[in-house]
């Protein structure tokens, strides 16, 4: 090494010192490219879900195609009553029932704890609005949109349905149900993305942004579940069918 000219040794040392900087620079570039690629894939996925369900989403119960059953997704209860958001979903299904657009209603929600029975509250509210109890079926294990759609087909034998939920959630719900074998259309209820409904539901601007991000992530998760992992729902169980 001592026989190597000093200038050559200095050049080798400088080159070795530059490599970590180059690696950091290349690493940052790769990270940026990976992030942009992931964002593009998310955007494409969201656009695909939205576009493929566009012609199946309705705003008016009277214009919604006739289907045998309406599926109402849970959205929380408070002090034994449905939240404003859930009440809107139930009223949408009740409107479909009274208009003769559906003959059955499947209430799907959370009953994971003894002191929290979302679907029973949903049924009581629908009955207050004039729907007979024998037209309502309860799914106590609808812990997620995926679980609700999977169980609607596998446990309750639903092959055609009208989904009732807020507009922001409707595209994902429709896409999920259709991928799981249900010929579904959807009735959109008031959405918290509009200022008037946001105030009515009690959401503040920061909260609506958080829920919007959550819906984007939920849609990505749904695409992975439907096209990659295809998991079983949290609970499956024996076939029950709808109330006759």
State residue 244's pLDDT score. 53
The listed CATH number (3.40.109.10, 3.40.50.720, 3.40.50.620, 1.10.3720.10) that belongs to domain 70-229: 3.40.50.620
Rg (CA), the chain: 25
Tokens of 69: 């059953």
The Cα 163–Cα 67 span in angstroms is 10
User: What's the angle, vertex CA 232, arms to CA 228 and CA 237, rounded to 5?
Assistant: 165
Q: Are strands 183-189 and 160-166 parallel, antiparallel or unpaired?
A: parallel
Neighbours of 100 (CB within 10 A): 9
Instruction: Give the residue extent of every domain in the chain.
Output: 70-229
Question: Strand pairing partners for 57?
Answer: 186
The Cα 122–Cα 143 span in angstroms is 15
State residue 183's pLDDT score. 97
DSSP string, the chain: -TTS-HHHHHHHHHHHHHHHHHHHHHHHHHHHHHHHHHHHHHHHHHHHHHHHHGGGEES-GGGSPP-SEEEEE---EETTEE-HHHHHHHHHHHHHHHTTS-SEEEEE-B--BTTB-HHHHHHHHHHHTT--GGGEEEETB--SHHHHHHHHHHTT---EEEEEEEHHHHHHHHHHHHHTT-EEEEEEE--TTSHHHHHHHT--HHHHHHHHHHHHHHHHHHHHIIIII-PPPS---S------
Neighbours of 115 (CB within 10 A): 4
The Cα 120–Cα 125 span in angstroms is 9
Q: Which residues of the chain have pLDDT under 50?
A: 1
């Amino acid at each position: 090494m001592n026989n190597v000219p000093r200038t050559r040794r200095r050049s080798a040392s400088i080159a070795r010192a530059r490599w970590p900087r180059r690696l950091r620079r290349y690493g940052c570039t790769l990270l940026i490219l990976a992030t942009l690629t992931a964002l593009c894939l998310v955007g494409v996925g969201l656009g695909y879900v939205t576009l493929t369900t566009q012609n199946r989403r309705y705003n008016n119960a009277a214009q919604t195609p006739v289907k045998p059953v309406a599926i109402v997704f849970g959205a929380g209860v408070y002090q034994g009553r449905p939240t404003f958001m859930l009440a809107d979903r139930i009223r949408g299904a009740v409107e479909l029932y009274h208009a003769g657009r559906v003959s059955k209603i499947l209430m799907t929600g959370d009953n994971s704890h003894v002191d929290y029975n979302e679907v029973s509250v949903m049924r009581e509210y629908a009955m207050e609005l004039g729907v007979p109890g024998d037209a309502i079926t309860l799914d106590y294990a609808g812990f997620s949109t995926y679980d609700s759609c999977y169980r609607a087909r596998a446990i309750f034998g639903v092959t055609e349905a009208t989904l009732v939920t807020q507009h922001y959630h409707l595209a994902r719900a429709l896409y999920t149900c259709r991928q799981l074998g249900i010929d579904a259309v959807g009735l959109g209820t008031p959405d918290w993305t509009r200022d008037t409904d946001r105030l009515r539901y009690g959401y503040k601007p920061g909260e609506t942004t958080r829920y919007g991000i959550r819906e984007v992530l939920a849609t990505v998760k749904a695409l992975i579940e439907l096209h990659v992992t295809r998991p079983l729902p949290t609970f499956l169980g024996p076939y029950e069918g709808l109330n006759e």
